[in-house]
Structure 1
Amino acid sequence: MTHDRLAQLLTLADVTEALDSAGAAVDKAFKHRALRRGGGTVAAEVGLRSAVASAALEGSSYDLADVRAGTITDPVVQGALRVSAELDRLAPQWLKAPPQVLTRLHILAARGVVADLGRPAPHGGAARLLALHDVLHSSAPALLRAAVVHGELLALRAFEGPNGVVARAAARLTLIAVGLDPRGLLPVDLGHLSREPEYVGAAGAYATGTPDGLRSWLRHCGAAVEVAADQLTAVCDAV
């Protein structure tokens, strides 16, 4: 998606307002006193909850307490946990080498699910995958870039197996790498899960490439980030 196309997305009805509202919610959540002490405990809890939510969106739904206790061996859950644990390490590489990072994400997410790890699905879309580099380095707002990366990977069904886990991780990496969420504290996948029917419908709408479809997806992503900001505040209150 070219820079001009990204800029055009901001002219769609209610999109700029949705992104601005999400940004304001994030700024408010980041002022929580618990984050002034470093936020390591919060980050660990967010990582766990995000992984559980991402696996649930992939059809592997389990109670958070059971996953926390280590009793869940479902390979999709385990893959989501591995992905979540490695985001901080992968973030510095994401803007430099997105194809290599996507390969790593798939290896982490799909181990024990599919045999062919790290390879894009064979049904095409290579040019659109390569175009993600331009999306990441555009001057568009961070949340817009993350939403487009997420939507593209879902629409392309870019990887076999738990492609959604990879797509959601790539979106989180974008928010980390471009500075909206530098410490990886936003459990955006909880926002998607809390609005799951809308998430599925809006992702399908994005894949149509129509203005209404793109608008629906971008508005959903803004709403999911607002939910994530509320969830972050709840985690901070708990710790």
Structure 2
Amino acid sequence: HQRADYVEIDVQRTKDGKLVNFHDCTMQRTTNIEDLYPNRPSYRVSDFTWNELRRLDAGTWFHDDYAGEPIITLDDVIRHIQHTRTGLLAEISPCSQYGTTIATDLADHLGNRRDYVTKALDRHRLAVQSFQTDDARTFHTAQPDIPIGILDADRPTDTELTELSQWADQINPQHTVTDQTLVDRVHQLGMDINVWTVDEPGAIRTMAGLGVDGIITDYPQTLTQRG
């Protein structure tokens, strides 16, 4: 309803191998996991089965209106968007418990969803991104047709950009380290640039003015509302 071009999700894996959308590396901040499963030694996504996780309330922390909102799987996300105009930008979780196996899992999973992937790629509606260059390379090697982006909180050096341009499709830096020189250089090297997380209207205007290819924001309606 906010007319975003893409939804951005974070892919993690449950103890029994189910791929789910969850941001934090542990679940105490945004769910009632400690109430439901007290005294567990760890509250990482990978320590719980999907049957355990599907019982959680992942909405109340944000607002009472979202009480009872469940954690959803990657397949749920795909099911919601595959017949719409909305694309998917899937981040390979940087949580340390996965090593590069999460990149392989995501590649395998999308490989088994050729129906969705083929259509999404035809419409430029699917990409994967990662803070970990190793994960990005692992994914890219397995699924070279799916655009891959490198997330960066710091400004990438020119050496890094040149090396990444040999195989990556997107450079996705934090907006605070992004300026015209960086945008132009990324474009010159044949890649796209998507900046994150740009929530303040002035910053959104500034980034749009630099000619970035995408703006990752919590408030897409700021961009889609025409005054």
TM-score by length of 1: 0.27
> Would you tell me which structure has more strand in proportion to its own residues?
2
Report which structure shows greater RCO (CA 8 Å, sep ≥6). 1
Structure of greater Rg: 2
> Would you tell me which structure has more helix in proportion to its own residues?
1
